[in-house]
A and B are shown apart, each in its own frame.
Chain A
Amino acid sequence: MATRLRSVLSKHANKAAAAVAATTATSAAAVTLLSDDVVHPLHLPWDHTGLLSSYDCASLRRGFQVYRQVCATCHSLERIHYRELVGVTHSTDELVEMASEVDVVDGPNDEGEMFERPGKLTDPLPSPYANEEAGRAANGGALPPDLSLMVKARHSGQDYLFSLLTGYCDAPAGKPMMPGLYYNPYFPGGAIAMPPPLNDGGVDYEDGTPATISQQAKDVVQFLNWCAEPEADTRKKQAAQYMLVIGFTALMTGYYKRFKWSPYKTRAITYVK
């Protein structure tokens, strides 16, 4: 598309002023496209985004596994607590055990000292780095962002994340790449500091699903979508309930009004001299 626009624009360079005045919207779009330094992720037919569809809990469970075994090495998920995952990815007992494997700094105690204790359900998921500076220092200056709201924090949300995770490829001819950066056409600028995170068979799914790159990407993106919108299922259910009740009420109100007004609507007025 950029090629076509470029030739169109150069052909009509002398008419540019008129064109800009006449078709402001088109020109603006064209200029944006020309200056873009990313491939725009296309919409993927996710099966949990429909009005009446819900998250696939098996996929969320696999996605959480991918997060814990792959992403959590560098990325925090600090807005999610273990208790929020109960009934979504794992049972209470599984999560209690999972949380207790983590040492959490708590306190102060009676002597004013901070102490370490096993994690509880009410703790947030552990962050890989103590602070932003530690994250930068460990990753060559590039901070691995927190993933809690990542689906909402990027344009095209889950389509972008899926494309980014699966989109690593060779850099185009003539593109200089700095050492320590990887080419990814979906990342603005093309050079991303995150090495390709997923590998075929990189995790071992407990339900036996073949852990291909696209399967892991789909699962972890759906899980991150849940992290950003844990209320989505309830919201859709409540919306359906509200719409049903409001629709029924509207029908009944309309009927009631017509019923009450029918004597007036059907009366005949005669004028006697």
Chain B
Amino acid sequence: MSDEEPVDILPTLRKECLTKCPAPKAAYEACIKRIEAKGEGDCEAWYFDMLTCVDHCVAPKILKYTK
């Protein structure tokens, strides 16, 4: 193992890409508020929308950062 751990670009890339997905992010956050008020349910479908949006931004780029 080397002295310095290499740092993966993927989390940073995902974070950057999330800023380009305001609509699904807002929908997911709205869902969180809804289920908190209601006390039940989950937000997986909205979470998936958000992740898919992030993926559309990440997928074409990520392999360029690998050798």
> Which residues from chain A sit less than 8 Å from chain B, CB to CB?
1-3, 6, 36-47, 58-59, 163, 166, 169, 172-176, 185, 190, 200-201, 204, 209-215, 218-219
Instruction: Assess the A212–B44 pair: CB atoms within 8 A.
Output: no
Partner of A212, one of B7, B31, B40: B7
Number of interface residues of B (CB under 8 A): 36
Query: CB-defined interface of B25-44 with A at 8 Å, one 1/0 digit per residue?
Result: 00110011001100011111
Q: Assess whether A173 is in contact with B55, with CB atoms less than 8 Å apart.
A: no
Q: Does B2 contact A (CB under 8 A)?
A: yes
In the complex, chain A residues whose CB is within 8 Å of the CB of B59: 42-44
Question: Is B20 an interface position by the 8 A CB rule?
Answer: no
Selected A-B contacts with CB under 8 Å, 20 pairs: A2-B45, A3-B49, A37-B44, A38-B48, A44-B62, A44-B63, A47-B63, A172-B42, A172-B44, A173-B35, A173-B36, A173-B42, A174-B41, A185-B47, A200-B5, A204-B1, A210-B6, A214-B66, A215-B8, A218-B63
Judged by DSSP, the binding face of B is: helix
Q: Which 5 A-B pairs have the closest CB atoms?
A: A174-B42, A172-B47, A210-B6, A212-B8, A42-B59
Is the Cβ of A204 less than 8 Å from the Cβ of B48? no
Contact B1 A212 (CB under 8 A): no
Q: Which B residues lie within 8 Å of A176 (CB)? A: 42
Given A1-B49, A200-B7; 5 other pairs, CB 8 A cutoff: A39-B52, A173-B43, A204-B1, A213-B8, A214-B66
Q: Given A173-B35, A174-B43, are A214 and B49 also a contact pair (CB < 8 Å)? A: no
Pairwise interchain contact B44-A201, C-beta atoms closer than 8 A? no
At the interface, yes or no: B21 with Cβ under 8 Å from chain A? no
Q: Quote the shortest CB–CB distance from A247 to chain B (angstroms).
A: 33
Tell me whether A201 and B62 are in contact (CB under 8 A).
no
A172→B32 CA distance, assembly (Å):
9
Q: Which residues of A contact B10 (CB under 8 A)?
A: 166, 212-214
CB contacts (< 8 Å) of B7 on chain A: these are: 200, 212
User: Across the interface, do A46 and B63 meet the contact criterion of CB distance under 8 Å?
Assistant: yes
Task: With a 10 A CB-CB cut-off, give which of A3, A47, A209, A218 has the most chain B CB atoms.
Answer: A3
Which of chain A's residues have a CB closer than 8 A to the CB of B40? 174
Residues of A with C-beta under 8 A to B66: 212, 214-215, 218-219
What residues of A have a CB within 8 angstroms of the CB of B65 in the complex? 212, 214
Q: Is the pair B48, A2 in contact by a Cβ cutoff of 8 Å?
A: yes
- Given contacts A39-B55, A204-B1, whether A185 and B6 have CB atoms under 8 Å apart is no
List residues of chain B with CB within 8 A of the CB of A210: 6
Q: What separation, in Å, do the CA atoms of A14 and B35 have in the docked complex?
A: 27
Task: Give Cα A207 to B60, complex, Å.
Answer: 26
CB neighbours (8 Å) of A38 from chain B are 48
Shortest Cβ distance from residue B9 to the other chain A in the assembled complex, whole angstroms: 7
